[in-house]
């Protein structure tokens, strides 16, 4: 019959065994598995992390992201890139599909070559089914003191000059080219502007208006080219450059690029040239 000391040792050994088993079966959650949210993404952005690292984090860790129109605007104002926002939207859609009756796929899943928010093109009579992304260029805005055309609810909308380095786009297209807009959630294609760029010795420029909204100012509409976009799928729109389009330099300006009155601001524009 075991003595009291042996009973104590046996009990201690059994207790340690149970604790070890529990630790193996129910490990403490690590910091790498913390649930990410919009605030966490903003903190990572403000810390200066590369957007590829942030996207990898979004894909690798569980997350609960708010992706309504107001949330996306706030994220953009907080400096979160469109690529990161797109990754958040995809993660939220995947989570919704996992919790719902079916799997929710990206609106762009049926369009070869379209994998993130942006502008794409396909040449006329092209045998390829794949869309090609247009790489954006940086545009710098300067306030235009010549026009203050409209006042809505106390907000003055000023004309701006947009300047793009270099006097020619690297992308050359022909008339009849089709363009595809993959827009953020809550954004309409009418918020995009197709602009005819004016060529200077070392840059291209255009005139637009704060917020991308045209009103009574003919100056703000000076470089605007009208187009009508056809909806192909949720957040996917297509339009075609007519055969009557003049040759020259063009740019497709996404919305929300000009919203800081009386201050210089950088944004992006998708540019191309028609040379014949």
- In the chain, domain spans: 31-99, 118-274
Asked whether the beta carbons of 240 and 215 are under 8 A apart, the reply is no
Sheet containing strand 132-133, strands side by side: 132-133, 118-122, 178-182, 236-240, 230-233
pTM: 0.56
* Cβ atoms of residues 138 and 268 within 8 Å: yes
Question: In the numeric block, which tokens belong to residue 204?
Answer: 């291209």
pLDDT in tens, the chain (276 residues): 555 555 444 545 444 444 444 444 444 444 445 788 999 999 999 999 998 899 988 988 888 898 887 888 889 999 999 889 988 888 887 766 555 444 445 777 788 899 899 999 998 877 777 999 999 999 987 765 443 444 444 444 556 788 999 999 999 999 999 999 999 988 999 999 999 999 999 999 998 654 444 333 444 467 889 999 999 999 999 999 999 999 999 999 998 755 444 445 678 999 999 987
Could you tell me if 249 and 169 are in contact, meaning their C-beta atoms sit under 8 angstroms apart?
A: yes
Per-residue burial over 189-213, b if 16 or more Cβ lie within 10 Å, else e, is bebbbbbbbbeeeebbbbbbbbbbb
Give the SS3 label for residue 162.
Answer: strand
| Residues 207/144, Cβ–Cβ less than 8 Å | yes
């Amino acid at each position: 019959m075991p003595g009291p000391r042996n009973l104590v040792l046996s009990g201690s050994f059994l207790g340690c065994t149970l604790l070890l088993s529990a630790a193996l079966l129910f490990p403490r959650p690590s910091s790498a598995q913390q649930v990410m949210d919009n605030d966490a993404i903003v903190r990572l952005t403000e810390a200066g992390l590369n957007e590829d690292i942030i996207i990898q984090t979004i894909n690798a860790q569980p997350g609960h992201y708010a992706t309504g129109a107001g949330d996306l605007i706030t994220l953009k104002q907080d400096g979160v890139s469109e690529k990161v926002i797109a990754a958040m939207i995809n993660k939220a859609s995947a989570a919704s599909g996992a919790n719902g009756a079916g799997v929710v796929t990206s609106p762009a899943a049926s369009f070869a070559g379209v994998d993130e928010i942006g502008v794409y093109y396909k040449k006329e009579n092209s045998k390829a089914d794949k869309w090609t992304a247009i790489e954006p260029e940086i545009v710098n805005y300067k306030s235009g003191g010549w026009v203050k055309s409209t006042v809505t609810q106390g907000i003055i909308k000023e004309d701006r000059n947009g300047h793009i380095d270099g006097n020619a786009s690297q992308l050359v297209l022909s008339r009849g080219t089709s363009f595809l807009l993959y827009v953020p959630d809550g954004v309409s294609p009418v918020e995009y502007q197709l602009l005819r760029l004016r060529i200077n010795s070392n840059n291209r420029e255009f005139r637009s208006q704060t917020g991308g909204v045209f009103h009574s100012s003919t100056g703000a509409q000076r470089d605007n080219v009208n187009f009508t976009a056809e909806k192909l799928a949720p957040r996917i729109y297509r339009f075609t450059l007519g055969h009557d389009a003049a040759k020259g330099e063009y740019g497709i300006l996404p919305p929300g690029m000009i919203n800081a009155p009386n201050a210089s601001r950088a944004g992006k524009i998708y540019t191309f040239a028609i040379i014949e």
